[in-house]
């Protein structure tokens, strides 16, 4: 078991991400794109993606969205709308009515729009700071995704993207923590 707590790991991985220059990120994305293309994603119609926070050097999902559209032109995306007052999240369809708003922490999310039922999703791109060899992820600590994923179909594919390879094990895994099915790094595709 890893001896560092989640708070310390969040600080450590956030600092490591901030050391990555934009050219570094572009170079790493190229490796990640190749691994993404190895995912078995037949017939995916509804995908929950997210808008990365560039100021936090998150992995930019637009690259993977474009690859998915190229392979499956009929795919429909939706984006998370977090309610910080209730600690809940909904998926909002990307359509002509979608309006974006900047909220807490520089997060950009839909301000209003058509809610997509969680059971309708086949694929969720899950943000993370770090992950371990069993597919458990370290997020920002608010639990939005774990609560939301519990409402999705048990067959939904959960894919994370990380600049860094897996830790041996994350500390303090709880019963409500849901592991990823896959995680993509510049060096490999992890399958859990």
89-120 pLDDT, tens digit each = 999 999 877 888 878 767 888 887 889 999 99
Q: What predicted TM-score, i.e. pTM, was given to this entire model?
A: 0.89
How far is it, in rounded angstroms, from Cα 145 to Cα 87? 10
How far is it, in rounded angstroms, from Cα 71 to Cα 37? 9
For residue 192, the model assigns a pLDDT of 95
For the chain, how many residues are written? 192
122-146 pLDDT, tens digit each = 999 999 999 999 999 998 877 889 9
26-37 pLDDT, tens digit each = 999 999 999 999
């Amino acid at each position: 078991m890893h001896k560092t707590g989640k708070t310390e790991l969040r600080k450590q991985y956030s600092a490591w991400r901030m050391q990555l220059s934009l050219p570094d990120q572009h170079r790493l994305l190229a490796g990640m794109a190749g691994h993404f293309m190895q995912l078995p994603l037949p017939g995916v119609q509804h995908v929950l993606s997210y808008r990365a926070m560039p100021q936090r050097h998150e992995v930019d999902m637009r690259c993977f969205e474009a690859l998915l559209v190229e392979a499956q032109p009929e795919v429909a995306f939706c984006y998370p709308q977090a309610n910080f007052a209730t600690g809940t999240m909904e998926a909002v369809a990307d359509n002509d009515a979608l309006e974006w708003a900047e909220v807490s922490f520089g997060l950009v999310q839909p301000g209003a729009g058509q809610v997509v039922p969680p059971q309708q999703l086949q694929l969720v791109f899950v943000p993370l700071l770090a992950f371990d060899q069993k597919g458990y992820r370290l997020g920002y600590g608010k639990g939005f995704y774990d609560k939301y994923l519990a409402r999705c179909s048990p067959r939904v594919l959960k894919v994370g993207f990380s600049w860094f390879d897996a830790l041996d094990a994350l500390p303090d895994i709880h019963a409500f923590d849901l592991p990823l099915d896959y995680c993509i790094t510049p060096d490999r595709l992890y399958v859990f």
